[in-house]
Every structure is written in structure tokens, then in C-alpha cells.
Structure 1
Amino acid sequence: METAAIVTNDSAQATDTGSFQMMMNTQEGIYRMKDKGQKLTLALAKKVSVSKDGLTYHVTLRHANWSNGDPITAQNFVYGWRRTVTPATKSQDAFYFSPVKNADAIIAGKMSPTKLGIKSQDKYHFTITLAKPTAYFKKVLAFPLYYPQNQKVIEKYGKDYATTSAKQVYSGPFKLTKWNGSSDSWTLVKNNQYWDKKAVKLTKINETVVKDSSTAINLYNSGKLDEVTLTGALAQQQVNNKEAVNRLSANLVRLDLNQKTQPAFKDQKIRQALSLTINRQALVKNVLKDDSTAALGFVPVGLATNSITGKDFAKSTQIKSAVAFDLAKAKKLWQAGKSEIGITKLNITLLADDTDNSKSVSEYLQGALQKLPGLTVTVRNIPKAQRLQEQNSGNYDIVAATWQSTWSDPYNFLDIWLSNSSYNNSSYKSTKVDQLLDDSENKYGNDSQKRWVTLQAAERQLMTDQGTIPLYTANNLQLLKSKVKHVIFNPTGVPYDFKYASIR
């Protein structure tokens, strides 16, 4: 079961977890994640050496093929990385290449993509040069954005490239099939050209979009699905099922307030008032009922711990007022904010996904927010792909958005609030947050403790400003047939890796 359709089959265009998950199982890069996203194993690379100053990576590729039989070469990496950072490609995630030398200037259109810090020496060797030492760079190399791309195939299909499963070529354990660009079902088929095909046990994986928990459990009980994700009352009913599996991820759900469509959101008191109306404990216990956890801030609990003190980032950084429930205080701030900006009422639309889970959360939020005098909230639930499109274009008042880190580092959460981030579509800007995040990467990149403190300061500033309204960290309560073994789950980055999965 999937809760949403695949948005794109082009790694340079993907922004959502579902598309990246498909890509991690059908494509491959230098590394693969293991041990819940905390460790790496070599994948298309058979050797990687790093210079003492941390600036140069020498990569030796193993001999491997694309699904069409073409060899996977160093030039595929060079071409793919250059294509992604080229402004004309319009990759929203291109900023993830920032650690690579000259990437920022290329993305900004100030330098040729040929100047990117990646060069091939021959068919199976290439060198990566970084702009600065980056402690988490190896983890980044396991992310689909950094996978190779086949120039011949891209040029063959042109604007139709990756618009269907057939107009793509695959480097990973499986091939995507039966996807027409908007299908609600598709199949991953074992890639017999894959270099490590002996490790792949499954011949195919059938995936289908199911948005309703009642439908999902019926399909599961009838044997038509081997895995389902449940929410709400049905999740609560299945907590003690012997086949229940908790998948608590670093997927944080929040409300973003668009200051362009609703100028009232520029007022800090208005933003704080909205946050204070929400009882997050009641939301997770009475609405979600699936062991999701109330947010302590924007960076979720369990994402990162201090290497010396062992303290959890979220627990040691919390601004309690930013996630508190206090309706009386909310009403006072609301009235003060309305007086400051000269309004008596406000009509807004809440944009959210159309899944069973999201509809329940939206209804709860509508009721909570409308306890503020003069506030009317209309809910608009739409398919995830459409929601992402409208969110990215800034076509919303309030949106129930999600963020799941690519790697286990607080920066990978906080950097979406940089003033120039392609994900910062709510128009929240803070020069202080910008400076703190810049310092964390460029001033204290080699000093883990000063970097930690600086990232804490950025989180506290974001929460003091109420730049966003954190809600909860999502837990996916799954039912997984006991015959299904060895599904790898990563709480950070791309969640499900089926390479080693088997049925016994």
C-alpha cells in the first residue's frame, strides 16, 4: 500500500518522499543506507577515498549496467549532477548540491555547470571536490538526487523523459513498470542487469494507492495486500496485532502560514495565537491514535544527539511557548494582533492532502483555529501531488506540510527556512536565522560543539518567531504479513528499501 501516487520519475525533479522511495529501489548511487539510516554501505562504488582535509573524494566504480545494458560510467555521474544544478532544469532540490565546489554559483546562474566540482578521470573513476569540509557528505551521496543519469536516454526522450516507467532507464535492484505518469498502481520488477541481483530475492512488488484505512485493512485481511498503513481508530484497534509494526520516522507535520496571500500572517502575535489554539497532545492521542508524537519544535525528537553530552537536539532546544496549548493566551494575542494590523475578521483556507488521516487532522485543526473570534477556516483536501504543486507555487493560505530529513542532521531540517531556500514558500524570513545557519556550515563546520550550539540558536529563533507551526512527528502503524522479511526502514531520508526483502 502507498498513500499517494508517484509524483515524478526524474531524480532531478523529485521533492516528495514517495517518489524518492521509488527511486531508491529502482536506481542507485555511490552508497546505500543501512541500520536505520545511520550507516552506509558501498553500492555502485567499490571504493571511496577521502583526502585528509575532507575536500576531495576519489570514487572508483564497480562494473555495472543500466537496465538497458548500457554501462554505468563516471560520466553518468558528471552529467547527472551537472544537469540537476543547471538552472534550466529547475530542480527544486538542487540546493542539496551546495557542499560541492561551485554548486551555489551555478545554481544562481553565475557560473557554467562544467565548473561543478566533479570530474571523470576515465570510465570508472571520478573525483568530487567540495567547497568546504562537510561531515555528513557521505550520507548525502546515498540520496537519489546524487544518483547517475543516462544522458543518451534523456536526450532520446527529450521532454517526455521519465513521464512514464518505459521512458526511463534503471540502475537499481528493480525497474518501475506499469506507471503511465499518473497511475494509482505500479509494479517494481527485478532488474536482471543489476550488479548485485543475487541479493535481490523478490521478482516483483505490486504497489497500489489506498487512501482509506478501512479499505486498506479489508484488502489486507483478504490477502490482497501484504502491507498496509493505518491511521486513527483503526490504527488504535490494531496496536496489539502480532503483525503490527511501528514506523516512527523523522517526518514532521507542520502548518505553514503564507504571508503573501494573507498579509495578516506577517504579524508575530497572529502567528503565535494560531499556534496556541492547537492541543498537540489531544491531536496525537484522540485524532491520530497511531503513536505519532507531539512536536517539541521544528526539529523532531530522535533526529540528532550531541556527540559529547548525548543530549537529544529537540529535547534540549525546545521553546515551550511555540508548541504550547493555551487558548486564553491565544485569544489575547489574537486581539492584540488584529488591532495592530487593523482587522476584525479573517477568512482563510487550509490546504491539506486528501488521505483519510489528513482529512481527520484537517477537521481537528479547523475546529481548533476557529475558536479565535472572527476567524473562519475553510478546509481544502486535495491529492498529495496537487498539494505539493500548489504549496511549491505559494498558492495557499495555510498548508499542512511535511518535512522528512535527507540525513540525520538538524541542518537538514532548518535549512528550508533560509530566505533563499526553494522550499521557503511562505515568505518567512529572518536575517538572524540566515546568519546562524551560515555560521553553522561555514564558520563552525569542523567544530562540532560550536556548530551544535549555533544550530540550537537557529531553531530557537525560528520557534520564537513562530515562523512555522510544528504539529507532530508521524508514526506509520503498519500491518506487515509475518511471511515478509528483511524490509529495511530508514527513519531519516528515504524510508523503505526493498532490496533485501523476501517472502518466507
Structure 2
Amino acid sequence: MRINKKVVSFGLIALTTATLAACGKQSDSNTVSKKQVLNWSEITQLSTQDPSLATDTTSFQALLNTGDGLYRLDKNNKPQLSLATKAKTSNQGKTYDFYLRKNAKWSNGDPLTAKDFVYSYKRTVNPATKSQMSFYLYQIKNAQAISKGQKSPDTLGVSAPSKYHLRIQLTRPLPYFKILLSWPLFFPQNQKVVQKYGKLYGTQAKYTVSSGPFTLTRWNGNNKTWTLIKNKNYWDAKNVKLNKVNEQVSESTTTSYNLFEAGKADETGLTGEQVAANKNKAGYHARLSSAIKRLELNENKVSAFKNLKVRQAFSLAINRKQLTNNVLKDGSIPAKGFVPSGMGNNPKTGTPFEDDAYVKSAVSYNLAKAKQLLREGYKESKTNSIKITLLVSDDDTSKQTAEFLQSKLDQLPGVQISVQTIPYTQLISRQTAGNYQATIKNWQAVFGDPINFLDVFQKGSSYLNNGWNNNQFNKLLNESENVYGNQPVKRWARLVEAEKVLMKDQGTIPLVQVAKPQLLKTTVKGVSFNPTGVPYDFKNVRIG
């Protein structure tokens, strides 16, 4: 990937300046604190800054920091009113009326009004936009029909009765709606700016506009460094302490760790032996997230994967404990299913979802049984070998995981795995297009409810491109949301059963629940980690 040398040079100058100042007298250290510059590491590049088109965590994190919503999560990850000053619900929880603050502006000086939310939501559900995330808006009246091209976007249940009054009509009460509204997909969009830039919107920093604490600069769409600058037009700018966040992509934690040790970065992710060497140090944070890393087999590209026994054989050949304990060594834990921990508890018994829905055989290791099932699967699918390419990102963790899977799956009779690593932005594009035979995918929760994972595999989901489909699974999900949405016990039972169907039919192969261990300078204050959404909001971060 081509790097913008000017951007890299600027980042290194800024980092070096901060480092030299930090090595000086106490008064110099105070000077650095007053500058309020944070130097942050990312493992993947930005893929887009169009809120309707973003799908990856890095892009959403930038959108969170350059945008604002009706709600914003506080340090305890609880939604608090932000662009709205007052909210009312009526119609048995299906109608929301928000009253916006009148001092909110876009970074270009435009007033921020209710129409910006109406435009944003209509644009996201409009099939012409091709948003993969539009299904998150389906609980808004007519959203699903609009997304399927059955109704006009103008029929969406979102309106602006007045300049600073926004009304949202839902199809049913949604207990986690406030959390959704604090996620960048539900942030406003400036219609004038979007239409001005057209297809260029969100592809480079200069084709963006901000409603939040920071503005994006020095991103040309491909480079591995970018900068967030404090947005002087932000309504709450007085409470934003950081003046600048320099971000640099390091696919290898070796690089980011060396920068951290040299004083050129304030934060680094950790892998393997780095965790063991630093877990007792001040500034170490374990950070178990609600993300699942999984192996996806594409039935549309490899006909043998249509056979259940073949899919089961691939899963049984993988020793997840070896992967977490001997390869990753970063605090990640073996997955108990597709839905990770932290997604809720049984309303009657209090049992965590991952325990209620546990299908041991779907995530166990048994090489002998795997070989037996594969031979039976070969016979049923009239083949005797599987030679495929495993497509993964070029970051350290993905490569280590791929090499481990290759070594395990190659033990199966007639199976030959080759690994192809590509930049993350290219991987996202190919996965979205279903252009892979097998790949490693990550799914990160947006809110703590099992549906946030299970609806990925529901028929019609924009993320369902591996060819798997199960009518019973679809029926259970439909009942959980549209029949028993207001009956927690019955809803829970259907979600549990849906997860069991997905696992027994091996619709996907869960590997690990992802940990994101981090080493953070103790001078960096106010950092809160969100395990079930966008990880880091820099609004309340300060230096010193």
C-alpha cells in the first residue's frame, strides 16, 4: 500500500518533539501536557468515513470521534443525551421525540438541525446507498421495506416537525435503542456536503465534515497515518481537552511496541510474549472485547462446504485452546459459540447467554472424529479432496491465526490450505463481495444483546454471503424480535435455540473471543474501553 510520505514525516516530527520535551525538566513536561497531543496506534487502515458505508471498527472509531449523536456513551458506557437536550417516548415506547440543542454546528459552520438526522437515516436505508449496516435501522417504521426497494425513502418513520425537533417512529419498543443512537451509524449527515462531494464523500479527509469533538485531517484514503484535530465549532468544545490525536497504523505490534518503548507513542496493543512481559506493569490493560474471530467457509465457492459433515470436520480439527494458549497468548479465550460473553443473561435464571446456548460439539477438538466425518462428507458430496485458499488480513494476529489453522486443517485427509494475506481494506472489500473460498472474519458487538450477533446470519442480511441458510434459524429470529419482542423470557428462549441451530448446522466456525490487551502511558487519563461497541472515545481523554 502506498504511504503518503508527507503525512508520515509530520507524524514523526510531532512524536519526536513530544518525546524530546518529555525528557527535559519538569516545566518541559508541563508544557507537553498543555499541548494535549495524543499519539495512538491502530492495527488497520481507515476504509471509509462515510457513516452509511462503514463496517469496520477502525472506521467507526474515527467516525465516533469526528461525530456526535442524540446520545453519547459516558465513561461507564451508559448513553447520555448529547446533541439532544430532551427526549420523550410515547405510543407504548414506539415513538421518540427529541429536542436538539440549538448551539450545535457542523465543523464548516452550518447549523446542525433535525433535518440532518432525517437525511442521514433515509440515506442509509435507501438501497441506492448500498449500506451493509442498514438492517440496524429496520426497527424504524418502513425501513426494511425501503431497503428492499418496496417503498420510497420518504416513507421512513423519521421526521422533523420543526427545526430542532426530531421524531422517530419504531415498529416495536426497542430496549437498546438509546445505545444504537449513540453509535455513528445513527449520527446526522450534512446533506449539502454529501451531495457536493457525491461518490467522493468520506473517501478522504477533505471530503468529510464533522459534528463531533474532532475533525479528520491528513488522510488521503490510502495512507497509514492521519490526525484528529479539536473541532472548535463543536458544541461541547470547552470540555474537550485534547488538541490533537496523531494516529499511525502498525500491522505488527512489534512496530507499535517499539514506538511506545521509544516514547514515540502513548499506546500500543500487545500480542504473545509482549503480554507476559508487561502484564504486571502500570499501564497494562487486559481488554477482553465482545468480538468473535471465526473461520468462514464459502459454500458458494466450494461445493464441498455445502455438506454438513465437511463443515463439522473442519471445526473439529481446530484445537482452540492451543490457538489461545500457545499461539495468540494475549488473553483471548476459546469461543463457546458465535455469541460471546457479555451479551446478556437469562431473564429467569441469570445464566449467561453463552452458557445457555452452548453446543460443545461445535467448538470441540477431536481430530479422529474430524477425519471420519470428512471421509463421510467426501462420499456424500462426491469428492475426495479440498484445496483452498484462506484469505486473511496482513496484520500479525491474523497471520498467526491463519498459519495455525493451516497446520491443523492440513492434517485432514485430502485437505490442502494455502494462505493469502492482503491489506485489511482489500480484505473487507473481498469479504463483502463474497470473493473468497475461506476467510477469517471478526464480528464486534454494537450493543450487549444476542441479536447483535445472530442477525448476521439471518436470511437477507447484507453480511450473509457464505451461502448458508436455515429456515428454522430464520423463523426463530423472526419470532424473537417480531412476535415475542416484549416478552423477555420467550424472546430469550428463541434466541438461545437460534444459536444452537447455527452451531449444530455449523453455519460458521467460531474460533476465539478476542482480547485486545493494551499498554497505555500512565500520563494518559480518561481513557474508557467499550467492549460492546466502538472501543475508544477520545472526547474525555487528557494528558497529565
Normalization by structure 1: what TM-score? 0.98
Structure 2 letter corresponding to 1:46:
T
Partner of 2:491: 451
**Greater CA drift, 226-235 or 111-120:** 226-235
Partner of 1:465: 505
Counterparts in 2 of 1:99-498, with a 5 A limit?
Answer: 99-498=139-538
1:335 & 1:317 partners in 2: Cα distance?
A: 29
CA contact (8 A) 1:347 1:377 kept: yes
Shift of 1:34: 2.9
Task: Name stretches of at least 5 consecutive residues in structure 2 with no aligned partner.
Answer: 1-40
CA contact (8 A) 1:36 1:491 kept: no
1:266 & 1:30 partners in 2: Cα distance?
A: 44
CA contact (8 A) 1:303 1:313 kept: yes
Q: 2:100 aligns with which of 52, 61, 64?
A: 61
CA contact (8 A) 1:216 1:229 kept: yes
Partner secondary structure for residue 512 of structure 2:
strand
Shift of 1:303: 2.1
1:177 & 1:309 partners in 2: Cα distance?
A: 50
Task: Name stretches of at least 5 consecutive residues in structure 1 with no aligned partner.
Answer: none
CA contact (8 A) 1:184 1:209 kept: yes
Partner secondary structure for residue 488 of structure 1:
coil
Partner of 1:49: 88
2:539 & 2:529 partners in 1: Cα distance?
A: 11
1:466 & 1:408 partners in 2: Cα distance?
A: 23
Structure 2 letter corresponding to 1:232:
G
Partner secondary structure for residue 275 of structure 2:
helix
Normalization by structure 2: what TM-score? 0.91
Partner secondary structure for residue 131 of structure 2:
coil
2:309 & 2:526 partners in 1: Cα distance?
A: 49
What's the CA shift string for 1:307-352, capped at 9, x where partnerless? 3422110022100000000011101101110111111111011111
Shift of 1:244: 1.1
Structure 2 letter corresponding to 1:173:
P
Partner secondary structure for residue 203 of structure 2:
coil
1:158 & 1:345 partners in 2: Cα distance?
A: 48
1:100 & 1:35 partners in 2: Cα distance?
A: 28
2:63 & 2:337 partners in 1: Cα distance?
A: 30
1:366 & 1:240 partners in 2: Cα distance?
A: 33
Structure 2 letter corresponding to 1:333:
L
- Matching of residue 501 in structure 1 with residue 534 in structure 2: no
CA contact (8 A) 1:232 1:357 kept: no
2:509 & 2:141 partners in 1: Cα distance?
A: 34
1:267 & 1:314 partners in 2: Cα distance?
A: 26
What's the CA shift string for 1:344-388, capped at 9, x where partnerless? 111011111110111111100100111101100000111111111
Shift of 1:279: 0.7
What's the CA shift string for 1:372-417, capped at 9, x where partnerless? 0110000011111111110110111111000011111000100000
Shift of 1:52: 5.0
Shift of 1:85: 0.8
Counterparts in 2 of 1:62-81, with a 5 A limit?
Answer: 62-63=101-102, 64-81=104-121
User: Could you say if the C-alpha distance between residues 36 and 308 of structure 1 is closer, same or farther in structure 2, counting changes exceeding 3 Å?
Assistant: farther
1:100 & 1:412 partners in 2: Cα distance?
A: 16
**Greater CA drift, 25-34 or 112-121:** 25-34
Partner secondary structure for residue 494 of structure 1:
coil
1:54 & 1:98 partners in 2: Cα distance?
A: 16
1:342 & 1:76 partners in 2: Cα distance?
A: 56
Shift of 1:35: 4.7
Partner secondary structure for residue 395 of structure 1:
coil
1:407 & 1:184 partners in 2: Cα distance?
A: 29
Shift of 1:469: 0.3
1:31 & 1:299 partners in 2: Cα distance?
A: 26
Partner of 1:96: 136
2:357 & 2:93 partners in 1: Cα distance?
A: 29
Partner secondary structure for residue 109 of structure 1:
coil
Shift of 1:491: 0.4
Partner of 1:7: 47
1:469 & 1:54 partners in 2: Cα distance?
A: 37
1:205 & 1:44 partners in 2: Cα distance?
A: 23
What's the CA shift string for 1:194-214, capped at 9, x where partnerless? 111111110001000001122
Shift of 1:36: 4.7
What's the CA shift string for 1:124-158, capped at 9, x where partnerless? 00110011222211211111111100011112222
What's the CA shift string for 1:61-109, capped at 9, x where partnerless? 0120000111100000111111111111111111111000000110000
1:223 & 1:368 partners in 2: Cα distance?
A: 40
What's the CA shift string for 1:173-194, capped at 9, x where partnerless? 1111100111100001111111
